[in-house]
A and B are shown apart, each in its own frame.
Chain A
Amino acid sequence: MSATETFDAAKVRPLWHRIVVRPETVTLLLLIIAIFVSASLSPFFADLRFVLESATFYIEFGIVALMLTLVVVSGEIDLSVAAMMALSACLFGIAHRAGLGMPLAIIIGLGSGALMGALNGVLVTIFRLPSIIATIGTMTLYRGIAQVIAGDRSVGGFPSWFVGIDFIAVGIVPVPVIIFTILAILLGIVLGGTLFGRQIYQTGTNPVAARHAGIRVGRLKRILFIASGLTSAVAGLLMASRLGVVRYDLATGGELQAVLIVMLGGTYIFGGRGTIAGTFLALWLLIIIQTGMTVANIAIDAQLTVLGLLLILAIISANSIYASGRR
């Protein structure tokens, strides 16, 4: 008798339950707690201008993580994002140094990102390599090419209008934060409100069924990988502007930062579930925690421990919520 009741309860969860019991809610709660803990840790934290300024150090990975969310929801992963940031930024820097002019250099930077993403897409959909393997391979390849072409030196000398985009602000909001927010809204609409978005979820949930339902799964994934390359290139250019120089080792380890943000946001690593809202909140959670602990002079080993615990907590809660919601 009770078994039947449980079955019924699971089948029709009340509306409030579906709205409140979501991985994003956990992220939001953690974010609120983090804000208050950070403010109590140090009197220097509670300064919106400072928090937004510090946000610019993480926003590039946040931009990458937004697009990565779509890739992960589709059932794939892209670990070459940071290497694509570095190589596209290096190609941009070298094109500028060669005297091609800034507009052309920016086009080369963005175009190379799209091309690198296309190669990832081809390896995954046409050569049928698991994306984790394929993009670990291209991660090393792209980083290696960047080192070959840029050498061990920095490439700089960009015009002053290009350098320091993080210093330019609308009110007190730096431009990279605005770019991140606009991209989050756009991708949120794409994933949550369009046919293409529904196809991404279906592909991630069950690619075979999606194919039978007439979704061109290969094409969809290629589009996502190309878009991932393109957003990585945008993030690479933002980083080049922030630092004023590019190097082959730009954004080293950034792929793990991006994956961490996506996971913190409650996106399911095996695909089919996750939202842009979660990733958006997760980036702010990361910013608040890191900034709060850094300004309180908390040692880095303690910081990493806290981040690791949070990540595990976020994944456990996401998994249990998805399990309870499964019919």
Chain B
Amino acid sequence: MVLLVDDEQRFAQMLAKRLELRGIQTDVFFSGEKALKAVEAGKHFHVAILDVKMPGISGIELKRKLSQADPQMKFIFLTGHGSCTDYETGICEAEDYLTKPLKIDRLVQVINRLVES
């Protein structure tokens, strides 16, 4: 199970559909608060794909909170731009990060790797 959080609703839906088409079951949330609630309610995800820049709880903040709630969870950040070396502190905290617009095959590859590990 994959958790996808992005405030861009159509983007999130499209991405979720494409992941589903590739056999990856995806739950979509449009805000960090809702996603956090679901996890705190006991829902388990192997991998969380989080947009960094969101209104309300930012991706980085959400990642920390989700980690607390579910230490097993692995994270992938989606960023408009940036890298581990020169971007905001926090990106390196995730297992991996991808820049938008993304390549679906690369995302699937990363998810599979994280799920297997």
A binds B: no
Which A residues form the contact surface with B (CB < 8 A)? none
Which B residues form the contact surface with A (CB < 8 A)? none
